[in-house]
Structure 1
Amino acid sequence: MSRTPSPAGSSEAPLPTAVYANGHLAAKDRFDHWRTLLSSTHAPMELHSDRADDFRARQRVIALGDVTVWPAAFPPVLFRRTDKLIRQSDPESYHLTLMLRGSGVADWRDRTLRTSPGTFHTSDSSRPVEIRSSAERGRILMVGVEVPKAVLPLSRRLADRAVGLPVPDDRGVGALLTHFLRHLVRNLPEYRLADGPRLGTVVADLTAAVLAQASDDDRALPQHTRRHTTVLRIRAFIEQNLGDPALTPSLVAAAHHISTSYLHRVFRHEDVTVGALIQRRRLERARAELVDPHRADEPIHAVAARWCLTAAEFSRSFRSAYGMTPGEYRRLTLHGD
């Protein structure tokens, strides 16, 4: 096991994470090691596997305040959470799985769900369940999310009703959560200790929205959660359409079936207006391409045009944001001049 070092009390410290891998253990000890680990990061459960004699697994645990995210890779396994185990220990949390590779079948007493990439799997630590996983290419790849019931901004009645129902991970709010989790896991070094609680709030809000979508009752979400989810959806839309010269606040509002005035009200609590966000993200995309070695010979005006910026506008905005011209920035970064 290795942990990310985090200087005590420093908001500049990295997010607290732990990486667990059992490859260094004797083959006969690996499965018991991972079973013990999973019981501590999720909930006590029975585990069985045809690969128990040499069970190589890897898991990273990312602490986001009260919320935990844990990417993992492991051979096919059977998970069983029984009434007896629930009576022994119940963390009272909702679990959500983003499946990246492999498939599974989850059986509750009143429903069965087949899961694979494309569908979220949700469960409740307080309900018995049996999950059988399989993988044609040897190992399951997934990202798990644990949200305590006490911090989920959704009534338990609706959240309980949604457990075990299929939720697509490639459209609607499911796509937002998928994108967020993938970005978090892929870019973990970018985040600091102080970001943890805020990131946990985002995950809790999106998890609540996913469960509300499954139960077909988005109106049950608190107003602040609906607003937060709307902001995330709008930000994702802007990212996907930055290269469209027609992208304006009016287009963004129309694409989300809201008025422009309501769009601005939704962003009132953000640190940027919609128009300024579009310009800032275009500038940041162009800046990234300026220092791409594969684009080193591309004229600066061509980079600007690809992100819907005139040469004069790009130069003026770039100097204001970064304290130098695009050409100076490129030379400094690529050539060290």
Structure 2
Amino acid sequence: MACDSHAPNEVDSEQADDFRATLRVLGLGPVSVSALDCPPLRSDRTPRLIRQSDPELYNLTFTQRGSAGAVHADREIQLGEGDLMLSTTSLPLRTRMATDHESVAMIDVLFPQALLPLPKGAADRLLTLPFSGRAGLGVLLAQFLNRLTAESATYRPADAERLGAVTLDLAAALLAHHLDDTTPPEAHPEALATRIHTFVRHNLSDPELTPRQIASAHHISLRTLHRVFQREGATVTAWIRQQRLDGARRDLTNPALAARPIYAIAAAWGFTRAADFTHVFRTTYGMPPSEYRHMGTPGTDETRS
């Protein structure tokens, strides 16, 4: 049913043996609106399926209840109740809906990409960005979709085209509103680089800080992130490592931290293994951190390291 109403996907669930769900689809001319209520579900639109069949649709998803996660257009997103997200059938999409102890209710608005009254490809900048359905144009669209699906039994066939037009207009208004607030990262590389550097410096203590996490936090692709650092002659990973080393080096010679063990200083800057920290420190500065601390802080007992 999902493949027929949306696009071909690989779908499975840990509750496949006792899978109880409902899927209702409203055909509103070229626009379709579907309401799904289901237990935990995994859905994958793979490159192979895209090559086999691509209806070239946009899908605006509204989470009525529960939560979901998605990976799409080089971004990861978590959706909670009241959130909206745009995706396209033309790119791989991996979705995980609900958790072991909950169900999820979602409404999907699917429409041909060519019908969106915006410059061609402009909406692609908004793929997998979270929109709130609790304020502004988001709540207007969310309330409309709630009523549209709840009262579908009262509509006549002649209403379908008009309702489809209204649905598309509201979706387009929401997307246009967010496009007005979004300029391509390439148009302001210095400002983007500044935001990224600030974000990284504030999260250096997190050993799980990765390029993908950084890109997701700034709503850009991994390719764009790497281009930002290429302009500075560095890789993302190398820049993060150097910032961590610089911070640890300052702390090693800080008299106020003379009693703090070296492994604790390393951990505070995101180095989870003391041996790895010692190795990279020696490679970068030509001496182990204990010797560097001894040279920079007179009277330091290096046995504390």
Identity of aligned residues (%): 43
2:76 paired with 1:108: no
- What corresponds to 1:67 in structure 2? 31
Q: Is the 8 A contact 2:69 2:97 kept in 1?
A: yes
Q: Which residue of 156, 161, 171 maps to 1:197?
A: 161
- What corresponds to 1:124 in structure 2? 88
- 1:95: Cα distance to partner? 0.6
Q: Is the 8 A contact 1:46 1:80 kept in 2?
A: yes
- 1:48: Cα distance to partner? 2.3
Q: Is the 8 A contact 2:72 2:127 kept in 1?
A: no
2:3 paired with 1:39: yes
TM-score scaled by length of structure 1: 0.51
- What corresponds to 1:185 in structure 2? 149
TM-score scaled by length of structure 2: 0.57
- What corresponds to 1:254 in structure 2? none
- What is the 5 A alignment of 1:126-275? 126-135=90-99, 137-216=101-180
Q: Distance in 2 between matches of 1:188 and 1:107?
A: 31
Q: Secondary structure at the match of 1:184?
A: helix
Q: Secondary structure at the match of 1:155?
A: coil
Equivalent AA in structure 2 for residue 94 of structure 1? Y
Q: Distance in 2 between matches of 1:189 and 1:108?
A: 34
Count of aligned positions: 182
Give the structure with higher Rg (CA).
2
Q: Distance in 2 between matches of 1:182 and 1:43?
A: 23
* RMSD of aligned Cα (Å): 1.7
**1:7-35 deviations in Å (ceiling 9; x for gaps):** xxxxxxxxxxxxxxxxxxxxxxxxxxxxx
Range with bigger deviation, 183-192 or 87-96: 183-192
- 1:109: Cα distance to partner? 4.5
Q: Does the C-alpha gap of structure 1 residues 183 and 89 become closer, same or farther in structure 2, counting only changes over 3 Å?
A: same
Equivalent AA in structure 2 for residue 97 of structure 1? T
- 1:108: Cα distance to partner? 2.1
- What is the 5 A alignment of 1:319-330? none
Structure 1, unpaired ranges of 5+: 1-36, 219-337
Q: Is the 8 A contact 1:162 1:212 kept in 2?
A: no
Q: Distance in 2 between matches of 1:193 and 1:112?
A: 39
Equivalent AA in structure 2 for residue 118 of structure 1? G
Q: Is the 8 A contact 2:73 2:128 kept in 1?
A: no
Q: Does the C-alpha gap of structure 1 residues 198 and 55 become closer, same or farther in structure 2, counting only changes over 3 Å?
A: same
